[in-house]
Structure 1
């Protein structure tokens, strides 16, 4: 029984649509033997879109790439974007820190015909968990390690813990994500144990990109793919040894993951991210305040990378190496 007897959160959208199914609260899976290249040719819209409902944040993470500010979109603009996203299966209502918007529950209500994911630092989880329960497929909490690591690279550990506990208490499925720096590697086993205590569906490891605050990181903080593979292998061995339950995933920045995200900024501009030869790592595609996602998708050059990433074909898992 969850807090106040509320049922676990579930997406309203039918989780099965053609060859792709949304399963386990966190994942898309491919049904049958249709290949990703063929799916990319046939798809008319992205599988998943990241919509920044604000650029504001109450943390100042040492690795953050989103440091340029712009005005929040109005509810009318978000309604226009909502209509123009028809054909997309999942929308991450993201930031900045999306829960800083006092009207965030209204935004969640507006997007109920999509599978909704919420990336968050959980600092306003105590205030908003009740309003998200039953409406959000899952929340992805940025969490980089135990208290000393978290405080150094991200912010207020105890506030984030309280928020995460509130979300879990209201039955919201949770995953954790961490940006992996050389100086935080020693904390990863403790982080996986925290994820296990939270009953998180997965722990996602992300390598930093040189943008925003990360431009100020010491060069030594960036680890290469070979070292990342070794770190991942040791962590999955510990997972098996201690019977920790969360899945462990790692997204490497390689040719197969370039441009895989479609990020919509608060001004409606849809961009492919990360595109390595662009100074800001963004490739502009069009504006969702002016045209539908189906039109923007036609000019998107990373369709196969997009589908491969969100179907788990280009990330490292316990049985799939970095490629």
Structure 2
């Protein structure tokens, strides 16, 4: 499903060499003639994991799937997890809202030499942390559902989010945007893409909501079909061509090819395949990275091909970053 475009490898020292590279569009790309199946067979650890460094958050998004509260892991526990995650290419230091940790800069320092770091955030605490993050993370991924009225309705304070984005940019932090797609917000997606282009975001990631957490209270009408999602994606691709919008565009639909593709590590160290459609809370337990290396968890993980295909963009809808510095 990948559209035409030319990737450029990031210059970060942590960017992987070999069969995969990490691009300015903030995603992995096969390097050379290696196939997906060849890569699946050669890996001894995931390409990417989500590590929840906190469950706390200052927003209460309508679609949030992660509302179960758990104590934050200590720095010592996070250091043990870091050691046991050896071999992983990228780690999302996630939440909740990860920047709610006052010691988040210490967490980034702990992980930045060993992994490509992505930071999913609502940006409201950028002022407290941006300086410590500069030069250490590959990108910050800020959630934004669209123009002010839409973001205010489904996520939280639009103006705080945008103020935080400006702080990140003032400190030279690369930016991507993510947007959870609800039916009532479809009309705002072209504006979201325009905002991403104005901010020179590496990518705009569109995510369909999962029936978990707060999203269990969403009206059924808010969940669009995969066919509708594909049609909207194609509409946005056309608009990007017309208006020369540059951010890469990615849309993940919940299909058999994307089931279980994420490995989410809870604050307790418990690792889960996610989303597994018939599993409780969509989580399938895999092990615990406080107790064993991720290579052992990878060995028993049954969604390896879905994992690799998704993060390489072959099982989802993608375009690559446009412009001369793709």
Fold in common (TM above 0.5): yes
Paired with 1:258 and 1:125, the residues of 2 have a C-alpha distance of 33
> Mind listing any 5+ residue stretches in structure 2 that lack a counterpart?
1-9, 321-326
1:61 alignment partner in structure 2: 61
Trace 1:127-206 onto structure 2 (pairs within 5 A): 127-206=128-207
Paired with 1:77 and 1:119, the residues of 2 have a C-alpha distance of 21
Paired with 2:17 and 2:285, the residues of 1 have a C-alpha distance of 29
The 1:318–1:76 alpha-carbon spacing in structure 2 relative to 1, beyond 3 Å, is closer
1:43 alignment partner in structure 2: 43
Is the Cα–Cα contact under 8 Å of residues 10 and 135 in structure 1 kept in the other structure?
no
Paired with 2:240 and 2:148, the residues of 1 have a C-alpha distance of 21
Which runs of at least 4 in structure 1 moved beyond 6 Å after TM superposition? none
SS at match of 1:83: helix
Trace 1:302-313 onto structure 2 (pairs within 5 A): 302-313=303-314
1:287 alignment partner in structure 2: 288
Paired with 1:197 and 1:66, the residues of 2 have a C-alpha distance of 30
Paired with 1:11 and 1:306, the residues of 2 have a C-alpha distance of 23
Paired with 1:220 and 1:270, the residues of 2 have a C-alpha distance of 32
- How far is the alpha carbon of 1:10 from its aligned partner? 6.4
Paired with 1:317 and 1:70, the residues of 2 have a C-alpha distance of 34
Q: Residue deviations 1:103-137, cap 9 Å, x none?
A: 00000000012111100000111221111110000
Q: Residue deviations 1:117-168, cap 9 Å, x none?
A: 1000001112211111100000110110100000000001111100011101
Paired with 1:219 and 1:77, the residues of 2 have a C-alpha distance of 40
1:5 alignment partner in structure 2: none
Q: Give the TM-score of the pair, scaled to structure 1.
A: 0.94
Paired with 1:177 and 1:216, the residues of 2 have a C-alpha distance of 21
Is the Cα–Cα contact under 8 Å of residues 73 and 267 in structure 1 kept in the other structure?
yes
Paired with 2:147 and 2:183, the residues of 1 have a C-alpha distance of 15
- How far is the alpha carbon of 1:181 from its aligned partner? 0.3
Paired with 2:178 and 2:18, the residues of 1 have a C-alpha distance of 29
Paired with 1:87 and 1:71, the residues of 2 have a C-alpha distance of 27
Q: Residue deviations 1:27-52, cap 9 Å, x none?
A: 21111222212221221000111100
2:278 alignment partner in structure 1: 277
SS at match of 2:107: helix
Q: Residue deviations 1:244-277, cap 9 Å, x none?
A: 1111110111011110011100000010000001
SS at match of 1:66: coil
- How far is the alpha carbon of 1:306 from its aligned partner? 0.6
